[in-house]
Structure 1
């Protein structure tokens, strides 16, 4: 540990040592969680390291969906803040940004447009198109119907090529879909807010990422993701505060939070678009893929995988109907051929109940994945652990902690569907 203190391996390790120094001076009667709460409350989010690329990627509100996808793919990121092109030069951050756009949101929005008005009239030919046309005031819905999007079970491989070359995809602006998926409330932290606030927002309050704003400049200074937090924690191996917590077994810290009966799952022979619809309906970011006729997971599919529907539609061209299994096979093959372009892993990773928190964190960080499935000795599903679950075990929300923090945060718009 002395070596680590003399030659920190990374900015995250330096940050971990800062927590260590604070840990050592905490009152002895405090529990480990109370100690960590106090440590993280004493560190401002401005201390969180910037991404290694140190690249601030923003998307203009008048960019088309096609342009937005190209920007995200080029920078190998899954989401980016959207800048309001109509905002004045001296606008505050809250007027400058209208939200976050992401690969998953774009596809979810497209799926929304094809859904019928109500369960009572699913077979009405014009129900889906009438709703979308009324909502958008244009002919996009008619084009969707022509593409056959409403029938996930019969979608063929060339559907995705048709979609990405369609007028719908090329002409719809990012601002046109504002308010229809995960856009509001657009909540950001100031540089002076604490680590504890950030960790609670990423865990208990289910934010996937937290923008940090520089009030003086009126700009986003950093975007802290769940994965970035897990990487920071992984870099703290060897430090007392981490080892005190990380050497515990999963069950000792209440993991997994999700039991087998609670897990939303899909089977390998189901249509892939249906799988994405299930994730949207159940408000989950990923699901295990189960071998037909069993409870054995054979893969994982997540909302972040939808980027491959938009950036590489040609890989599905030969499929008459794309099942979840077909999708995983095509994506795996594509990633193998494009290792330099994509840093994420599509590997399906499992662990056993006797795994320690430290081993799990290092596994998630090494494989660049967002969830691990807990299996028994027969390979059957026993639970699910996500990045959010782990962060939630690291800190606890003190009574009345947020006070009026959320006052003034706008509720979801009336047309929000997610």
Structure 2
């Protein structure tokens, strides 16, 4: 047993080794040392061992956590301008800063930032609001002359385009906002993500000036967890089948048949609690792909696709990015590329393709859209 533990410790040291430009290198000795010391005094089950391991990894050791300036939105910003800014900056979301007198800030981060909003949420909201408009605007499918962009649609409907970002809180478009600090641990982030199902992004702030300096995403946490592969106590958890975990039953899965329109899929996506809709083959009920909030930006890059969303089948849409150069749908990727400035990138070649879904061994779904 002792020999097995020592081999496990040596594997742990290998896990913590990263290229020298990563800050995790500076932490690896203390992380390994403290972790090994704690284990010597505890007989831990795999779950507790993993928890202890994660609680020894500070957020500051995540590669590239401070490599990119944080784009901010103001609660007084207009929706059209906010969408344009995030699109131009190639970021999928931003924290929302409240309009306050600097002299009234008493040193709490929450006094400055009041929420987080993503580009996809604003685009989906704008599309649905434009659909409700008494007069169809360019890009909604009501015109016969060409296809308008999302920005053209918002110009044609100033009530929507000129709406303030702060007002969208009433439409539940703001995501939960739970900031963390560099000296918090990865386990703390994992608890936040697991306890708040709508939470996709955790902002990281600097205690000294209360400014946002980066983000930790769900995907980043998963990739870091995968670095524990090879450790006995981690593999005993990772090797379990998905059916052994108490996920929500399939009656609550958001899905759409591949022959339905993209517009219908977008409508379902807007109401999705997890930000993804499974695309299912109508004949054999097998999952053939998925459409995620992170894919909505494609509508901003293709005005024709935006205008034809009521006639384009979602099964066709999921192949839109298949021909992207350098696209890598595998789960094993370079950590530096994953974390360095790319956590919130719209155009991200490391994101799995829409037509390459991850499924369980149970290929058929019995629920209907």
TM superposition score normalised by structure 2: 0.71
Pick aligned residue for 2:321 from 324, 332, 343:
332
What residue number does 2:224 align with? 232
For the structure 1 residues 9 and 253, does the alpha-carbon distance in structure 2 shift closer, same or farther, using more than 3 Å as the test? farther
Question: Whole-Å Cα distance in 2 between the matches of residues 105 and 319 of structure 1?
Answer: 17
| SS of aligned partner of 2:216 | strand
Question: Whole-Å Cα distance in 2 between the matches of residues 29 and 292 of structure 1?
Answer: 51
| SS of aligned partner of 1:77 | coil
What residue number does 2:209 align with? 217
Q: Does 1:94 align with 2:85?
A: no
Pick aligned residue for 1:368 from 325, 348, 351:
351
What residue number does 1:138 align with? none
For the structure 1 residues 320 and 260, does the alpha-carbon distance in structure 2 shift closer, same or farther, using more than 3 Å as the test? closer
For the structure 1 residues 288 and 214, does the alpha-carbon distance in structure 2 shift closer, same or farther, using more than 3 Å as the test? same
| SS of aligned partner of 1:224 | strand
Please show how residues 294-309 of structure 1 align to structure 2 within 5 Å: 294-309=284-299
What residue number does 1:8 align with? 18
Pick aligned residue for 2:121 from 102, 105, 109:
105
What residue number does 1:245 align with? 234
Question: Whole-Å Cα distance in 2 between the matches of residues 251 and 157 of structure 1?
Answer: 50
Question: Whole-Å Cα distance in 2 between the matches of residues 253 and 320 of structure 1?
Answer: 36
Q: Is the 8 A contact 1:208 1:225 kept in 2?
A: yes
| SS of aligned partner of 1:158 | coil
| Gapped regions of structure 2 (runs ≥ 5) | 1-9, 339-348
Question: Whole-Å Cα distance in 2 between the matches of residues 190 and 6 of structure 1?
Answer: 21
Quote how far apart the aligned CAs of 1:57 are: 1.9
Quote how far apart the aligned CAs of 1:226 are: 0.8
Question: Whole-Å Cα distance in 1 between the matches of residues 316 and 166 of structure 2?
Answer: 33
Q: Is the 8 A contact 1:213 1:222 kept in 2?
A: yes
Question: Whole-Å Cα distance in 1 between the matches of residues 290 and 16 of structure 2?
Answer: 41
Higher relative contact order (CA 8 A, sep 6+): 1
Question: Whole-Å Cα distance in 2 between the matches of residues 219 and 288 of structure 1?
Answer: 37
Q: Does 1:158 align with 2:147?
A: yes
| SS of aligned partner of 2:51 | helix
Q: Is the 8 A contact 1:189 1:212 kept in 2?
A: yes
Q: Does 1:177 align with 2:168?
A: yes
Please show how residues 202-213 of structure 1 align to structure 2 within 5 Å: 202-206=193-197, 207-213=199-205
Question: Whole-Å Cα distance in 1 between the matches of residues 310 and 51 of structure 2?
Answer: 54
For the structure 1 residues 316 and 249, does the alpha-carbon distance in structure 2 shift closer, same or farther, using more than 3 Å as the test? same
What residue number does 1:186 align with? 177
Deviations 1:322-352 (A, max 9, x none): 32124324x326x62xx58xx7x6x6x8xxx
Question: Whole-Å Cα distance in 2 between the matches of residues 260 and 155 of structure 1?
Answer: 41
- For this pair of structures, how many residues does the alignment match? 332
What residue number does 1:72 align with? 86
Pick aligned residue for 1:24 from 13, 36, 40:
36
Q: Is the 8 A contact 1:99 1:186 kept in 2?
A: yes
Question: Whole-Å Cα distance in 2 between the matches of residues 41 and 363 of structure 1?
Answer: 23
TM superposition score normalised by structure 1: 0.64
Quote how far apart the aligned CAs of 1:258 are: 5.1
Please show how residues 34-73 of structure 1 align to structure 2 within 5 Å: 34-51=48-65, 53-73=67-87
